[in-house]
Amino acid sequence: MPEGPSVRKFHHLVSPFVGQEVVKTGGSSKKLNPASFQSLWLQDTQVHGKKLFLRFDPDEEFGSLGNISLPESLEKGERKEEASDQKQASGPSSQKISHPSSQSLELVAPRGDHGLERLRGDTPAEGAERWLQVSFGLFGSIWVNEFSRAKKANKRGDWRDPIPRLVLYFGGGGFLAFYNCQMSWSSSPMVRPTSDILSEKFDRGQALEALGQEQPVCYTLLDQRYFSGLGNIIKNEALYRAGIHPLSLGSLLSPQHLEALVDHAVEFSADWLQGKFQGKQQHTQIYQKEQCPGGHRVMKEAFGPPGGFQRLTWWCPQCQPRLPPDGQAQVQIS
């Protein structure tokens, strides 16, 4: 699924639509009826880790339409990153996903007073703030003023464009298309900046304390309670650049090594985000590689807590030696 830098970019793509009214809807969502957004106003957007939050309200509060024009570099970067993210995420062993034809997309014109003719349960109780929580799947994305197109034929040889889960057309003339995501309503956004690796309020002390636990650091890095927005790509890259074996117990690592690991996680994430706004593909050193930059053979195995989700992990045994039980081996810090 998209990691923190990608979702931050989605947030910037959506922000120009704040202050605009939804005038037409479409999409394939079954959990949320697309028609429930008709005549609502997008009032605010917030981002936390891998989740995007959008606040809708039946009344206009800002009195003016948002500016839907986007920097050319941002629009180009969106298209480039969409293609590179799909290629990078698919990998050699991933299954290709077939999508139904985009011709089945249904557009719904506004109905009723403030769009209140909605399916029961589509929105919170009347009077509550309508915060839409968006969690993205493996190829999740947001497209602005255009739709995603098929880049290759499926196994049957058919060229089928991906179907957007939700399409929102705004009064200013633009539209947003949401792909491969889960959406639900809530009364308020669940935002904790101290755990967001891309937030200025990220709490390094809390992160270091979590990493120091007596469990493999590769488990802790993916714990969104302490490293919100950090995903499998960032995990692999940070561990390699810090010279730490993924199964090293945090309790055996020195404070210097833990500090280096947090530094690399934050720096790689920030560089990745900056590259997205510039339309550049993020270059990885270990993720999905057969050799590390030093020319050593890379190992690959799925690691995860017992009974938990197992994530593919790439590491170099030479550059990331595993600590013995006494924790005395020296780990190289890059």
Question: Could you tell me the two tokens for 200?
Answer: 């200025």
For the packed helices 255-277 and 72-90, what is the interaxial angle rounded to 10 degrees?
A: 120
The answer to whether residue 156 is catalytic is: no
Annotated active-site residue in 2, 5, 164, 246 = 2
Query: Quick check: helix, strand or coil at residue 104?
Result: helix
What is the reported pLDDT for 34? 94
Residues 130-184 have pLDDT tens digits of 899 999 998 899 999 999 988 887 777 788 888 999 999 999 999 999 999 999 9
Closest C-alpha among 152, 161, 133, 322 to residue 243: 322
Phi, psi of 104 (to 5 degrees): -85, 0
Closest C-alpha among 96, 8, 94 to residue 53: 8
The answer to whether residue 3 is catalytic is: yes
Parallel, antiparallel, or unpaired: how do β-strands 22-26 and 166-170 relate?
antiparallel
The answer to whether residue 200 is catalytic is: no
Residues 3-42 have pLDDT tens digits of 999 999 999 999 999 999 999 999 999 889 999 999 999 9
Instruction: Quote the pTM value.
Output: 0.77
Whole-number Cα distances in Å, 317 to 111, 261, 294, 322: 62, 17, 11, 7
Tell me the Ramachandran region of residue 106: left when phi exceeds 0, alpha when psi lies from -120 to 50, beta otherwise: beta
Return the number of other C-beta atoms located less than 10 Å from residue 254's C-beta.
Answer: 12
In angstroms, the CA 56 to CA 310 distance is 36
Compute the mean pLDDT over every residue in the chain, rounded to the nearest whole number: 82
Annotated active-site residue in 24, 50, 51, 165 = 50
Pure H helices in 172-330: 204-211, 217-221, 232-242, 255-277
Position 282 confidence tier, pLDDT thresholds 50, 70, 90? confident
Annotated active-site residue in 58, 192, 311, 321 = 311
The domains found in the chain, sorted by start residue, are 4-59+129-186 (3.20.190.10), 194-315 (1.10.8.50)
C-beta separation of 136 from 50 below 8 A: yes
Residues 199-256 have pLDDT tens digits of 999 999 999 999 999 999 999 999 999 999 999 999 999 999 999 999 999 999 999 9
The answer to whether residue 50 is catalytic is: yes
